[in-house]
Amino acid sequence: MTDGNTSIWGLLYRYASGQPLNGSGGYRYLSPGAGRWPGWKRQAYRLGLPALTLLTAVRPRDGLALLALAVILIGWRGRRTMAQRRFHREYIAPTLEAIRTPLGLALGVKLHVDPSLGNLTPRLAKPLSPAEVATRRWYGEHVEPVLRWTPERAQRGLWAVQLWVRPATSKLEVFRRPGEQVGPRIELNIKTPYLTSEQRLLISSIINSKIPVADLVESWNQVGVEVMARWIVRKRPPASCGYAQVLEHIDRLKEWEFYLGQGVGDKPIILSLQDDSPHIAISAGTGAGKSVLAQLLAAQVLRRGGRVIILDRKGSHRWALGMPGVDYCTKPHQMHDALVKHAGVADQRNDDALHEEEGWDPGPRVLVICEELNATIGQLVNYWAEVREKSDPKKSPAVAALADLLFMGRSAKYNVIAIAQMLTARAIGGPEARENFGVRLLARYTTNAWKMLVPEAAMPRSSRTRGRWQLVVGGVATEVQVAFLTAAEVRALAQPAESPDSALSSDVTSNGNKMTLRQASDNGVIPWGYDAAKMRLHRKDEAAPKPCGKDGKAFLYDRAELERWASSGKR
């Protein structure tokens, strides 16, 4: 025979090189290609078995030892192959069939499913008999330690070498291009250039039904000649966050920035009341931690010298009792008076801002916390119905004041936190008022609550982890583990930060009625913030007080002159 495909030499070459003996194409050496095995694996079996047989015949002891090792390896590989086939039979094959049938694609659909996802592999496990349990226990106690001794020592040696060369290899990190870190995933490749939204929705439904893995994040890529879909496990924030993390971040933030907790990858989540929104809506079920979240923000306001107004009929903020800078209102008449008063202050600040330069500081920030707003609005309405005279307006002035704060809070540095289990438009004074809440936080939410408050954002699965919230800003939901603080930690955190020229806990210094400009601003002697007051002094204001001493590097001013300066500025 002289034909290269049918000659004895051609058969020997194909046998030794791992190619199919019939000479058919499509079979690759490194990957399976058209065959079930890659070429290198067929080559290893074809050359290894005769060599092992010959060695056994020439040197029986060595041959039997290698034969025993080969039997162990083949048994281990066979067991693994059987597990892979069962996994393919239970999950991949039925899913591919369900996808191909409606799409009309006989070929060109590839599906990859990581066995480590969820509990896919444990679901396939069958109960063990007592004999199997005993055998596995004996194997784990006597055989596995022997088999793992050499690989473990080799791995430890490799780790030692890596640690030794780390000072040199760390300098090469700058030249390394970061690769895509995907991790366990479900990946679907379809040889078609485009799929409609209905087809993608159908495929997503099939994947979620046939492969029982919960809380997956789905992404589609239709660029190119193939469509690729990927489902990965949603990454989660840390399970807890506390006082140490809060202290680590809050003093680094700007005056209008607030620390909420830790997000995915243990990254701090920062909320801006200047860039994002002046007002915050909090909606969550009972026990989700609404008051914990509110007191975290309140403590940061107090730490920076601001004021906090709490409308709390049920008494959830006992930490605030007796705290400087806090107006704790638990009765309807107290809530009514506080809202009317501060709406007037905010209105005055807005009027003053009209005559000031851009960026003028109206004074310390004021945070208004409205606990259980659904019930609070009703109590304010009932209170006004009891006390109003015939000449008084029918609408509660407190409810109107709350609406005014929502519409003019940014320039006046007034911020409202509205807390409710179901923050309906009626509870907040209408849909127009609710639109002022650019920052919305939800936990233990229902589908109805999510669609009502943030219909523009995709709804993630609600978590039962305590303190786990969804922060929604601009239609984007960010998962965050909110920091939990005890009452003692909140009170400690709320103490104003130390500054070189101020003693914020007192109205005057040890110099009698003399105080620094910062002390006058923080204690309300002058209506402007510290920076705004310094700008007024630099303008050579005729009514500005003259320094009468020094406290360290800071000038001292007479309190009476400061008050006259403040009254002239208001006029």
Does 344 share its domain with 422? yes
Q: pTM to 2 decimals? A: 0.61
Inform me whether the pLDDT recorded for 229 exceeds 90.
yes
Inform me whether the pLDDT recorded for 160 exceeds 90.
yes
| pLDDT 10s digits, 244-272 | 888 888 888 888 899 999 998 889 999 98
Does 88 share its domain with 3? no
Does 398 share its domain with 442? yes
CATH of the domain at 461: 3.40.50.300
Which residue's structure tokens are 């860039």?
275
Distance from C-alpha of 292 to C-alpha of 275, rounded to nearest angstrom: 24
Does 225 share its domain with 321? no
Helix (H) or strand (E) holding 491: helix 487-493
- Of 40 and 294, the structure prediction assigns the larger pLDDT to 294
Question: How many C-beta neighbours within 10 Å does residue 470 have?
Answer: 21
Q: Which domain holds residue 438?
A: 275-353+361-446+456-472+484-493
Helix (H) or strand (E) holding 259: strand 257-262
Does 322 share its domain with 412? yes
94: confidence class by pLDDT, cuts 50, 70, 90: very high
For 210, the token pair is 């046939």
Contact between 495 and 512 (Cβ < 8 Å): no
Does 210 share its domain with 316? no
549 lies in a domain? yes
| pLDDT 10s digits, 444-472 | 888 888 888 888 887 888 888 888 999 99
394 lies in a domain? yes
Inform me whether the pLDDT recorded for 337 exceeds 80.
yes
Write the secondary structure of 190-205 as one string of H (helix), E (strand) and C (coil).
Answer: ECCCCCCHHHHHHHHH
Does 198 share its domain with 102? yes
Total count of domains within the chain = 4
- Of 77 and 185, the structure prediction assigns the larger pLDDT to 185
Contact between 20 and 39 (Cβ < 8 Å): no
502: confidence class by pLDDT, cuts 50, 70, 90: very low
341 lies in a domain? yes
Distance from C-alpha of 460 to C-alpha of 470, rounded to nearest angstrom: 9
162 lies in a domain? no
Does 327 share its domain with 382? yes
Does 51 share its domain with 191? no
Integer angstrom CA distances of residue 181 from 9, 206, 215, 266, 571: 48, 26, 19, 17, 63
Q: What is the pLDDT of residue 430?
A: 62
348 lies in a domain? yes
Q: Which residues of 189-204 are buried (b: 16+ CB within 10 A; e: fewer)?
A: ebeeeebeeebeebbb
Does 208 share its domain with 346? no
Inform me whether the pLDDT recorded for 274 exceeds 90.
no
Distance from C-alpha of 200 to C-alpha of 218, rounded to nearest angstrom: 11
Q: What is the pLDDT of residue 354?
A: 78
Distance from C-alpha of 372 to C-alpha of 544, rounded to nearest angstrom: 45
Contacts of residues 557-562 at CB distance under 8 Å and 24 or more positions apart, as own/partner, are: 557/514, 557/515, 557/516, 557/517, 557/520, 558/513, 558/514, 559/508, 559/513, 559/514, 559/515, 559/520, 559/525, 560/513, 562/515, 562/520, 562/525, 562/526
Range of lowest pLDDT (95-99, 146-150, 372-376, 426-430): 426-430
Give the three-class secondary structure for 160.
Answer: helix
Instruction: Determine the straight-line distance between the first and last CA of the chain, rounded to whole angstroms.
Output: 116
The string of DSSP letters for 13-52 reads: HHHHHT--TT--S---SSS-TTSSS-HHHHHHHHHHHHHH
Helices (H), 321-430: 332-353, 373-387, 397-412, 425-428
The alpha carbons of the chain give a radius of gyration, in whole angstroms, of 36
Does 120 share its domain with 30? no
Strands 554-558 and 326-329: unpaired
547 lies in a domain? yes
Within 8 A by CB and 6+ apart from 434, the residues are: 281, 423, 425, 428
Distance from C-alpha of 91 to C-alpha of 185, rounded to nearest angstrom: 14
Helices 197-210/93-103 angle, 10° precision? 160
Q: What is the pLDDT of residue 503?
A: 35
For 14, the token pair is 């194909």
Range of lowest pLDDT (161-170, 262-271, 371-380, 527-536): 527-536
174 lies in a domain? no
User: Domain end: 201, 234, 267, which one?
Assistant: 234
Question: How many C-beta neighbours within 10 Å does residue 431 have?
Answer: 10
Percentage of the chain exceeding pLDDT 90:
12
| pLDDT 10s digits, 504-528 | 333 333 344 778 887 777 666 787 7
Distance from C-alpha of 302 to C-alpha of 324, rounded to nearest angstrom: 8
| pLDDT 10s digits, 97-142 | 898 887 776 668 899 999 888 788 888 888 889 999 899 899 889 8
167 lies in a domain? no
Does 489 share its domain with 521? no
What is the sign, positive or negative, of the torsion defined by CA atoms of 510, 511, 513, 514?
negative
Inform me whether the pLDDT recorded for 498 exceeds 60.
no
Within 8 A by CB and 6+ apart from 117, the residues are: 184, 185, 186, 211, 213, 233
